[in-house]
Amino acid sequence: MSYDLVIRGGTLVTATGRYAADIAIDGEQIAAIVAPGTPLEASRVIDATGRHVLPGAIDVHSHHREPGFTHKEDIVTATSACAAGGVTTSFAMPNVAPPPNTVERLDAMIDLYNQRAIVDWNINAAGTVPDQIAEMSTRGICAFKVFMVVDSGRDYPHMPGIGVHDHGKLLEIFEAIAPTGLALMVHPHDQELMTHIEQGFWAKGERDAQAYAKAYSAMDGIIWDTAAALLLRLQQSTGTRLHLLHTQTVGVLQQIRAAKAAGQPVTAELNPWAVFLGNDWSNIVRWGPYALSYYVPEKNTEPLWEALADGTIDLISTDHAPHTREEKEPGWTDCWKAHTGTPSTQFYVPMFLDAALAGRLTLERVVDLIATAPAEAFGLARKGRLEVGADADIAIVNLDAEMEIRDDIVIGKIGWTPYAGKRVRGVVETTLVRGGIVYADGRVVGNPGWGRQARPDGAWKAAGTVAPASAG
Ligand SMILES: [Zn+2]
Protein backbone atom coordinates (compact mmCIF):
# COMPACT_ATOMS: atom_id res chain seq x y z
CA MET A 1 0.00 0.00 0.00
CA SER A 2 1.00 3.61 -0.30
CA TYR A 3 0.98 5.77 2.80
CA ASP A 4 0.12 9.46 2.94
CA LEU A 5 3.28 10.42 4.75
CA VAL A 6 6.46 8.76 5.96
CA ILE A 7 8.88 10.24 8.49
CA ARG A 8 12.28 8.71 7.80
CA GLY A 9 15.58 8.55 9.60
CA GLY A 10 14.60 9.93 13.00
CA THR A 11 15.04 8.72 16.55
CA LEU A 12 11.68 8.12 18.21
CA VAL A 13 11.43 9.11 21.85
CA THR A 14 8.64 7.75 24.02
CA ALA A 15 7.96 7.85 27.74
CA THR A 16 9.87 4.59 28.11
CA GLY A 17 12.72 4.64 25.62
CA ARG A 18 14.22 5.79 22.35
CA TYR A 19 15.02 3.97 19.14
CA ALA A 20 15.68 4.57 15.48
CA ALA A 21 12.58 3.94 13.34
CA ASP A 22 10.55 5.22 10.42
CA ILE A 23 6.89 6.17 10.91
CA ALA A 24 4.20 5.72 8.26
CA ILE A 25 1.01 7.75 8.49
CA ASP A 26 -2.24 6.84 6.82
CA GLY A 27 -4.89 9.54 7.08
CA GLU A 28 -4.85 10.83 10.63
CA GLN A 29 -3.23 7.86 12.36
CA ILE A 30 0.14 6.22 12.72
CA ALA A 31 -0.19 3.16 10.47
CA ALA A 32 3.24 1.55 10.86
CA ILE A 33 6.48 1.94 12.79
CA VAL A 34 9.28 0.07 11.03
CA ALA A 35 13.04 -0.43 11.08
CA PRO A 36 14.97 2.45 9.53
CA GLY A 37 15.20 2.22 5.78
CA THR A 38 12.37 -0.30 5.32
CA PRO A 39 11.01 0.35 1.81
CA LEU A 40 7.66 2.15 2.09
CA GLU A 41 5.66 3.85 -0.61
CA ALA A 42 4.42 7.27 0.35
CA SER A 43 2.95 10.40 -1.22
CA ARG A 44 5.17 12.54 0.93
CA VAL A 45 8.38 11.95 2.89
CA ILE A 46 9.83 13.99 5.73
CA ASP A 47 13.55 13.45 6.22
CA ALA A 48 14.15 13.40 9.98
CA THR A 49 17.77 12.32 9.82
CA GLY A 50 19.57 13.55 12.91
CA ARG A 51 16.27 14.61 14.47
CA HIS A 52 14.23 13.30 17.39
CA VAL A 53 10.58 12.43 16.82
CA LEU A 54 8.33 13.02 19.82
CA PRO A 55 4.63 12.68 20.48
CA GLY A 56 3.21 16.21 20.33
CA ALA A 57 2.81 17.97 23.65
CA ILE A 58 -0.59 17.98 25.35
CA ASP A 59 -1.13 21.13 27.37
CA VAL A 60 -4.16 20.73 29.63
CA HIS A 61 -3.94 24.26 31.06
CA SER A 62 -3.83 27.22 28.69
CA HIS A 63 -5.55 30.60 28.68
CA HIS A 64 -6.59 31.28 25.08
CA ARG A 65 -8.63 34.41 25.98
CA GLU A 66 -11.46 33.88 23.52
CA PRO A 67 -14.27 34.81 23.86
CA GLY A 68 -14.04 38.13 25.67
CA PHE A 69 -10.38 39.08 25.90
CA THR A 70 -9.20 38.78 22.32
CA HIS A 71 -7.04 41.89 22.60
CA LYS A 72 -4.64 39.60 24.55
CA GLU A 73 -4.88 36.41 22.50
CA ASP A 74 -7.45 34.46 20.54
CA ILE A 75 -8.00 30.87 19.49
CA VAL A 76 -6.12 31.33 16.22
CA THR A 77 -3.10 33.04 17.76
CA ALA A 78 -2.96 30.68 20.74
CA THR A 79 -3.16 27.55 18.61
CA SER A 80 -0.63 29.05 16.14
CA ALA A 81 1.82 29.42 19.03
CA CYS A 82 0.99 25.81 19.97
CA ALA A 83 1.84 24.62 16.45
CA ALA A 84 5.17 26.46 16.53
CA GLY A 85 5.92 25.07 19.97
CA GLY A 86 5.24 21.39 19.26
CA VAL A 87 1.92 21.43 21.15
CA THR A 88 -0.65 19.32 19.33
CA THR A 89 -3.49 19.48 21.86
CA SER A 90 -4.30 22.45 24.07
CA PHE A 91 -7.04 22.67 26.71
CA ALA A 92 -8.59 26.10 27.22
CA MET A 93 -9.23 27.55 30.64
CA PRO A 94 -12.64 29.03 31.46
CA ASN A 95 -11.78 32.59 32.56
CA VAL A 96 -13.23 34.07 29.41
CA ALA A 97 -16.37 36.14 28.93
CA PRO A 98 -18.90 34.71 29.10
CA PRO A 99 -17.31 31.85 31.06
CA PRO A 100 -18.36 28.33 30.01
CA ASN A 101 -20.29 27.62 33.22
CA THR A 102 -23.57 26.60 31.55
CA VAL A 103 -24.40 24.13 28.79
CA GLU A 104 -25.42 26.93 26.44
CA ARG A 105 -22.18 28.86 26.92
CA LEU A 106 -20.05 25.73 26.64
CA ASP A 107 -21.78 24.75 23.40
CA ALA A 108 -21.16 28.22 21.98
CA MET A 109 -17.48 28.00 22.89
CA ILE A 110 -17.20 24.55 21.32
CA ASP A 111 -18.62 26.04 18.09
CA LEU A 112 -15.95 28.76 18.17
CA TYR A 113 -13.17 26.22 18.60
CA ASN A 114 -14.50 24.05 15.79
CA GLN A 115 -14.16 27.00 13.46
CA ARG A 116 -10.91 28.51 14.70
CA ALA A 117 -8.49 26.05 16.29
CA ILE A 118 -5.38 24.99 14.36
CA VAL A 119 -4.36 22.20 16.76
CA ASP A 120 -6.56 19.80 18.69
CA TRP A 121 -8.23 21.22 21.75
CA ASN A 122 -10.64 20.83 24.59
CA ILE A 123 -12.29 23.19 27.03
CA ASN A 124 -12.10 22.90 30.80
CA ALA A 125 -15.59 24.01 31.71
CA ALA A 126 -16.20 26.19 34.75
CA GLY A 127 -17.69 23.91 37.39
CA THR A 128 -19.28 26.73 39.33
CA VAL A 129 -22.94 26.04 38.54
CA PRO A 130 -23.61 22.59 40.02
CA ASP A 131 -26.94 21.99 38.28
CA GLN A 132 -25.26 22.39 34.88
CA ILE A 133 -22.45 19.92 35.52
CA ALA A 134 -24.17 16.65 34.56
CA GLU A 135 -25.24 17.89 31.14
CA MET A 136 -21.99 19.73 30.45
CA SER A 137 -20.16 16.45 31.07
CA THR A 138 -21.84 15.00 27.95
CA ARG A 139 -20.11 17.52 25.65
CA GLY A 140 -16.84 15.65 25.20
CA ILE A 141 -14.94 17.62 27.81
CA CYS A 142 -12.25 16.03 29.99
CA ALA A 143 -12.42 18.24 33.07
CA PHE A 144 -14.02 21.04 35.02
CA LYS A 145 -12.01 23.91 36.46
CA VAL A 146 -12.53 25.98 39.58
CA PHE A 147 -10.38 28.82 40.85
CA MET A 148 -10.42 29.08 44.64
CA VAL A 149 -9.30 32.67 44.19
CA VAL A 150 -11.62 35.62 43.83
CA ASP A 151 -9.63 38.76 43.10
CA SER A 152 -9.66 41.74 45.39
CA GLY A 153 -8.98 45.10 43.75
CA ARG A 154 -9.35 43.94 40.13
CA ASP A 155 -11.88 41.98 38.12
CA TYR A 156 -9.46 39.91 36.04
CA PRO A 157 -8.04 37.26 35.65
CA HIS A 158 -10.03 35.62 38.44
CA MET A 159 -13.39 37.21 38.02
CA PRO A 160 -16.61 36.32 39.80
CA GLY A 161 -18.47 33.45 38.13
CA ILE A 162 -15.47 31.15 37.96
CA GLY A 163 -14.02 31.55 41.47
CA VAL A 164 -15.27 29.73 44.55
CA HIS A 165 -13.70 29.83 47.97
CA ASP A 166 -16.68 28.94 50.12
CA HIS A 167 -15.88 25.43 51.38
CA GLY A 168 -19.48 24.25 51.34
CA LYS A 169 -19.89 25.38 47.76
CA LEU A 170 -16.67 23.58 46.84
CA LEU A 171 -17.97 20.39 48.44
CA GLU A 172 -21.18 20.75 46.44
CA ILE A 173 -19.12 21.03 43.24
CA PHE A 174 -17.03 17.96 44.09
CA GLU A 175 -20.26 16.04 44.73
CA ALA A 176 -21.78 17.14 41.43
CA ILE A 177 -18.69 16.19 39.40
CA ALA A 178 -18.04 12.79 41.04
CA PRO A 179 -20.74 10.86 39.11
CA THR A 180 -19.53 12.27 35.78
CA GLY A 181 -16.19 10.50 36.17
CA LEU A 182 -14.45 13.60 34.84
CA ALA A 183 -11.62 15.39 36.60
CA LEU A 184 -11.89 18.57 38.62
CA MET A 185 -8.94 20.93 38.19
CA VAL A 186 -8.50 23.40 40.98
CA HIS A 187 -6.29 26.43 41.42
CA PRO A 188 -5.58 26.04 45.14
CA HIS A 189 -5.81 29.25 47.13
CA ASP A 190 -6.87 30.18 50.64
CA GLN A 191 -8.71 33.46 50.23
CA GLU A 192 -9.24 34.14 53.96
CA LEU A 193 -5.55 33.76 54.73
CA MET A 194 -4.66 35.80 51.66
CA THR A 195 -6.95 38.63 52.73
CA HIS A 196 -5.16 38.88 56.06
CA ILE A 197 -1.70 38.59 54.49
CA GLU A 198 -2.26 41.15 51.76
CA GLN A 199 -3.83 43.64 54.14
CA GLY A 200 -0.63 43.44 56.16
CA PHE A 201 1.36 44.52 53.12
CA TRP A 202 -1.11 47.24 52.18
CA ALA A 203 -1.07 48.67 55.72
CA LYS A 204 2.65 49.26 55.25
CA GLY A 205 1.98 50.91 51.89
CA GLU A 206 3.56 48.01 50.01
CA ARG A 207 1.68 47.20 46.82
CA ASP A 208 4.41 46.76 44.21
CA ALA A 209 5.41 43.58 42.39
CA GLN A 210 7.86 42.57 45.10
CA ALA A 211 5.19 42.91 47.80
CA TYR A 212 2.79 40.89 45.66
CA ALA A 213 5.42 38.20 45.17
CA LYS A 214 6.08 38.05 48.90
CA ALA A 215 2.39 37.99 49.83
CA TYR A 216 1.58 35.00 47.63
CA SER A 217 4.61 33.08 48.88
CA ALA A 218 4.26 34.16 52.53
CA MET A 219 4.90 31.71 55.37
CA ASP A 220 6.39 29.04 53.10
CA GLY A 221 3.38 29.11 50.82
CA ILE A 222 0.67 28.82 53.48
CA ILE A 223 -2.11 29.87 51.08
CA TRP A 224 -1.17 27.00 48.72
CA ASP A 225 -0.60 24.35 51.39
CA THR A 226 -3.82 24.89 53.33
CA ALA A 227 -5.88 24.99 50.13
CA ALA A 228 -4.34 21.74 48.88
CA ALA A 229 -5.09 20.10 52.24
CA LEU A 230 -8.76 21.05 51.94
CA LEU A 231 -8.99 19.87 48.33
CA LEU A 232 -7.35 16.52 49.05
CA ARG A 233 -9.73 16.00 51.96
CA LEU A 234 -12.76 16.85 49.78
CA GLN A 235 -11.42 14.42 47.18
CA GLN A 236 -11.15 11.69 49.78
CA SER A 237 -14.76 12.11 50.86
CA THR A 238 -16.34 12.46 47.43
CA GLY A 239 -14.16 10.27 45.20
CA THR A 240 -13.97 13.03 42.58
CA ARG A 241 -10.81 12.86 40.48
CA LEU A 242 -8.73 15.85 41.45
CA HIS A 243 -6.09 17.58 39.35
CA LEU A 244 -4.06 20.07 41.39
CA LEU A 245 -2.80 23.09 39.46
CA HIS A 246 0.25 25.28 40.10
CA THR A 247 2.25 22.83 42.24
CA GLN A 248 5.07 24.92 43.71
CA THR A 249 5.65 24.32 47.42
CA VAL A 250 7.38 21.56 49.37
CA GLY A 251 4.29 21.42 51.57
CA VAL A 252 2.04 20.55 48.65
CA LEU A 253 4.53 17.94 47.38
CA GLN A 254 4.42 16.20 50.76
CA GLN A 255 0.63 16.17 50.67
CA ILE A 256 0.52 14.78 47.12
CA ARG A 257 2.91 11.99 48.10
CA ALA A 258 0.74 11.07 51.07
CA ALA A 259 -2.46 11.17 49.00
CA LYS A 260 -0.98 8.98 46.27
CA ALA A 261 0.41 6.55 48.82
CA ALA A 262 -3.11 6.25 50.20
CA GLY A 263 -4.40 5.47 46.70
CA GLN A 264 -6.29 8.70 46.12
CA PRO A 265 -6.97 9.45 42.43
CA VAL A 266 -5.02 12.68 42.36
CA THR A 267 -2.79 14.17 39.68
CA ALA A 268 -0.66 17.28 39.90
CA GLU A 269 0.91 19.60 37.39
CA LEU A 270 3.88 21.90 37.29
CA ASN A 271 3.95 25.08 35.21
CA PRO A 272 7.16 26.27 33.52
CA TRP A 273 7.29 29.51 35.49
CA ALA A 274 7.81 27.50 38.70
CA VAL A 275 11.26 26.30 37.62
CA PHE A 276 12.36 28.73 34.90
CA LEU A 277 11.13 32.15 35.99
CA GLY A 278 9.44 32.79 39.32
CA ASN A 279 11.98 30.70 41.22
CA ASP A 280 14.66 33.39 41.02
CA TRP A 281 14.18 36.54 43.10
CA SER A 282 16.42 38.50 40.75
CA ASN A 283 13.85 37.92 37.98
CA ILE A 284 11.13 39.43 40.20
CA VAL A 285 13.35 42.45 40.86
CA ARG A 286 14.30 42.89 37.20
CA TRP A 287 11.03 42.07 35.42
CA GLY A 288 8.55 43.01 38.16
CA PRO A 289 4.99 42.21 37.05
CA TYR A 290 6.27 40.56 33.85
CA ALA A 291 7.81 37.77 35.96
CA LEU A 292 4.55 37.05 37.82
CA SER A 293 2.68 34.35 37.69
CA TYR A 294 4.06 33.69 41.19
CA TYR A 295 7.26 33.88 43.14
CA VAL A 296 8.39 30.36 44.01
CA PRO A 297 11.13 30.75 46.64
CA GLU A 298 14.42 29.21 45.56
CA LYS A 299 14.41 26.48 48.20
CA ASN A 300 11.52 24.82 46.35
CA THR A 301 13.40 24.45 43.07
CA GLU A 302 15.34 21.25 43.74
CA PRO A 303 12.38 19.49 45.40
CA LEU A 304 10.22 20.40 42.38
CA TRP A 305 12.72 18.87 39.92
CA GLU A 306 12.89 15.78 42.13
CA ALA A 307 9.10 15.57 42.15
CA LEU A 308 9.05 15.82 38.36
CA ALA A 309 11.53 12.97 38.17
CA ASP A 310 9.91 10.64 40.71
CA GLY A 311 6.30 11.03 39.56
CA THR A 312 4.96 13.01 42.51
CA ILE A 313 4.18 15.61 39.87
CA ASP A 314 2.42 13.81 37.04
CA LEU A 315 2.63 16.26 34.21
CA ILE A 316 3.74 19.61 32.89
CA SER A 317 1.24 22.09 31.48
CA THR A 318 1.84 25.71 30.69
CA ASP A 319 -0.64 27.95 32.49
CA HIS A 320 0.01 30.04 29.34
CA ALA A 321 -1.41 33.42 30.35
CA PRO A 322 -0.81 36.25 27.88
CA HIS A 323 -1.44 39.86 28.96
CA THR A 324 -0.58 43.08 27.17
CA ARG A 325 2.20 45.38 28.34
CA GLU A 326 -0.48 47.95 29.25
CA GLU A 327 -2.02 45.40 31.61
CA LYS A 328 1.34 44.55 33.19
CA GLU A 329 2.83 48.03 33.58
CA PRO A 330 0.67 49.15 36.57
CA GLY A 331 2.18 46.24 38.49
CA TRP A 332 5.44 48.09 39.08
CA THR A 333 3.63 50.26 41.60
CA ASP A 334 0.43 48.28 42.34
CA CYS A 335 0.63 44.63 41.35
CA TRP A 336 -2.85 43.99 42.75
CA LYS A 337 -4.09 46.09 39.82
CA ALA A 338 -2.00 44.28 37.20
CA HIS A 339 -3.04 41.07 35.49
CA THR A 340 -1.08 38.07 36.74
CA GLY A 341 0.18 35.26 34.61
CA THR A 342 2.89 34.75 32.00
CA PRO A 343 2.85 33.34 28.46
CA SER A 344 4.78 30.15 27.63
CA THR A 345 3.04 27.85 25.17
CA GLN A 346 5.46 28.57 22.30
CA PHE A 347 8.64 27.91 24.26
CA TYR A 348 8.03 25.44 27.08
CA VAL A 349 8.80 22.32 25.06
CA PRO A 350 12.23 23.67 24.00
CA MET A 351 12.92 24.81 27.58
CA PHE A 352 12.21 21.34 28.99
CA LEU A 353 14.19 19.67 26.17
CA ASP A 354 17.05 21.94 27.14
CA ALA A 355 16.63 20.87 30.76
CA ALA A 356 16.82 17.23 29.65
CA LEU A 357 20.02 17.94 27.70
CA ALA A 358 21.40 19.60 30.83
CA GLY A 359 20.69 16.39 32.76
CA ARG A 360 17.79 17.66 34.87
CA LEU A 361 15.46 14.91 33.68
CA THR A 362 15.77 12.15 31.11
CA LEU A 363 14.46 12.93 27.65
CA GLU A 364 11.99 10.08 28.10
CA ARG A 365 10.66 11.58 31.33
CA VAL A 366 10.20 14.94 29.59
CA VAL A 367 8.18 13.22 26.86
CA ASP A 368 6.11 11.53 29.55
CA LEU A 369 5.51 14.78 31.45
CA ILE A 370 4.53 16.86 28.41
CA ALA A 371 2.67 14.29 26.31
CA THR A 372 2.01 10.78 27.56
CA ALA A 373 1.07 11.49 31.16
CA PRO A 374 -1.40 14.30 30.31
CA ALA A 375 -3.07 12.01 27.76
CA GLU A 376 -3.36 9.26 30.36
CA ALA A 377 -4.53 11.60 33.10
CA PHE A 378 -7.39 12.90 30.96
CA GLY A 379 -8.39 9.71 29.16
CA LEU A 380 -7.04 10.54 25.68
CA ALA A 381 -6.27 6.98 24.64
CA ARG A 382 -5.14 7.83 21.09
CA LYS A 383 -2.92 10.75 22.00
CA GLY A 384 0.44 11.35 23.59
CA ARG A 385 2.16 8.25 22.21
CA LEU A 386 4.01 7.02 19.17
CA GLU A 387 2.16 3.76 18.52
CA VAL A 388 0.36 2.16 15.63
CA GLY A 389 -3.27 3.27 15.79
CA ALA A 390 -2.52 6.44 17.73
CA ASP A 391 -3.29 9.86 16.28
CA ALA A 392 -0.31 11.11 14.27
CA ASP A 393 0.34 14.04 16.64
CA ILE A 394 4.06 14.51 16.28
CA ALA A 395 6.79 17.06 17.02
CA ILE A 396 10.07 16.68 15.15
CA VAL A 397 12.83 18.41 17.08
CA ASN A 398 16.48 19.20 16.54
CA LEU A 399 18.36 18.69 19.79
CA ASP A 400 21.62 19.91 18.26
CA ALA A 401 20.19 23.29 17.33
CA GLU A 402 20.17 26.20 19.73
CA MET A 403 17.75 29.10 19.74
CA GLU A 404 17.50 32.37 21.56
CA ILE A 405 14.03 33.14 22.85
CA ARG A 406 13.19 36.70 21.86
CA ASP A 407 10.23 39.07 21.95
CA ASP A 408 10.27 39.46 18.17
CA ILE A 409 9.66 35.75 17.52
CA VAL A 410 6.62 35.57 19.80
CA ILE A 411 3.54 34.46 17.91
CA GLY A 412 0.45 36.21 19.23
CA LYS A 413 -0.77 39.66 20.09
CA ILE A 414 1.28 40.73 23.09
CA GLY A 415 4.79 40.82 21.60
CA TRP A 416 6.72 39.80 24.69
CA THR A 417 7.90 36.75 26.57
CA PRO A 418 9.32 36.61 30.09
CA TYR A 419 11.92 34.17 28.75
CA ALA A 420 13.48 36.69 26.33
CA GLY A 421 17.26 36.34 26.24
CA LYS A 422 17.23 32.70 27.31
CA ARG A 423 19.21 30.41 25.00
CA VAL A 424 17.95 26.85 24.75
CA ARG A 425 19.05 23.72 22.93
CA GLY A 426 16.13 21.87 21.34
CA VAL A 427 14.26 23.46 18.47
CA VAL A 428 10.86 22.36 17.20
CA GLU A 429 11.15 22.05 13.42
CA THR A 430 7.95 20.34 12.33
CA THR A 431 4.60 19.74 14.05
CA LEU A 432 1.87 17.39 12.84
CA VAL A 433 -1.67 17.20 14.17
CA ARG A 434 -3.48 14.00 13.13
CA GLY A 435 -1.17 13.65 10.18
CA GLY A 436 -1.61 17.21 8.97
CA ILE A 437 1.47 19.44 8.98
CA VAL A 438 0.65 22.55 11.02
CA TYR A 439 4.19 23.93 11.42
CA ALA A 440 7.24 23.56 9.16
CA ASP A 441 10.22 25.57 7.95
CA GLY A 442 9.65 28.24 10.58
CA ARG A 443 6.05 28.90 9.56
CA VAL A 444 2.64 28.00 10.91
CA VAL A 445 0.96 26.30 7.97
CA GLY A 446 -2.06 24.79 9.69
CA ASN A 447 -5.48 26.23 9.06
CA PRO A 448 -8.13 27.36 11.53
CA GLY A 449 -10.75 24.63 11.74
CA TRP A 450 -8.25 21.76 11.39
CA GLY A 451 -8.11 21.33 15.16
CA ARG A 452 -10.65 18.94 16.60
CA GLN A 453 -11.97 18.39 20.11
CA ALA A 454 -9.81 15.80 21.89
CA ARG A 455 -12.63 13.85 23.52
CA PRO A 456 -11.85 11.40 26.32
CA ASP A 457 -12.01 7.90 24.92
CA GLY A 458 -9.95 5.90 27.35
CA ALA A 459 -9.83 4.97 30.98
CA TRP A 460 -8.31 7.53 33.29
CA LYS A 461 -4.98 6.46 34.70
CA ALA A 462 -2.93 8.11 37.41
CA ALA A 463 0.50 8.59 35.97
CA GLY A 464 2.38 8.87 39.23
CA THR A 465 5.07 6.32 39.90
CA VAL A 466 4.73 6.59 43.65
CA ALA A 467 3.64 3.12 44.68
CA PRO A 468 0.54 2.82 46.88
CA ALA A 469 1.36 1.82 50.43
CA SER A 470 1.06 -1.93 50.84
CA ALA A 471 -0.21 -3.64 53.96
CA GLY A 472 2.24 -5.47 56.17
ZN1 LIG B 1 -3.97 29.23 34.75
From ligand 1's centre to the CA of 98, what distance in Å? 17
From ligand 1's centre to the CA of 212, what distance in Å? 17
To 5 degrees, how large is the angle CA 13–CA 54–CA 382?
Answer: 105
List, for residues 86-99, the tens digit of each pLDDT value: 999 999 999 999 99
Predicted pLDDT of residue 465: 33
Judge whether 319 counts as a catalytic residue: yes
Q: What are phi and psi of 393, to 5 degrees?
A: -100, 105
Indicate where the chain has its CATH 3.20.20.140 domain(s): 56-377
Q: Which CATH number fits domain 2-53+388-401+422-444: 2.30.40.10, 3.40.640.10, 2.60.40.2700, 3.40.50.720?
A: 2.30.40.10
Mean predicted lDDT score pLDDT of the chain = 95
Question: For residues 380 and 154, which has the higher predicted lDDT (pLDDT)?
Answer: 380
* Model confidence, pTM: 0.95
Nearest Cα to 347, choosing from 409, 392, 296, 401? Answer: 409
From ligand 1's centre to the CA of 23, what distance in Å? 35
Cα–Cα distance, 263 to 28 (Å, whole number)? 36
Predicted pLDDT of residue 152: 61
Residue 157 binned pLDDT confidence (cut-offs 50, 70, 90):
low
From ligand 1's centre to the CA of 373, what distance in Å? 19
pLDDT at 255 over 90: yes
Residue 392 binned pLDDT confidence (cut-offs 50, 70, 90):
very high
Contact 317, 60 (CB under 8 A): yes
| Given the residues 59, 319, 354, 368, the one annotated as active site | 319
Predicted pLDDT of residue 466: 34
Predicted pLDDT of residue 151: 61
pLDDT at 472 over 90: no
List, for residues 15-56, the tens digit of each pLDDT value: 999 999 999 999 999 999 999 999 999 999 999 999 999 999
Indicate where the chain has its CATH 2.30.40.10 domain(s): 2-53+388-401+422-444
CATH topology of domain 56-377: TIM Barrel (3.20.20)
Give the Cβ contact number of residue 11 at 10 Å.
Answer: 18
From ligand 1's centre to the CA of 84, what distance in Å? 21
Q: What is the mean pLDDT of residues 372-388?
A: 97
From ligand 1's centre to the CA of 381, what distance in Å? 25
Residue 463 binned pLDDT confidence (cut-offs 50, 70, 90):
very low
Cα–Cα distance, 29 to 98 (Å, whole number)? 35
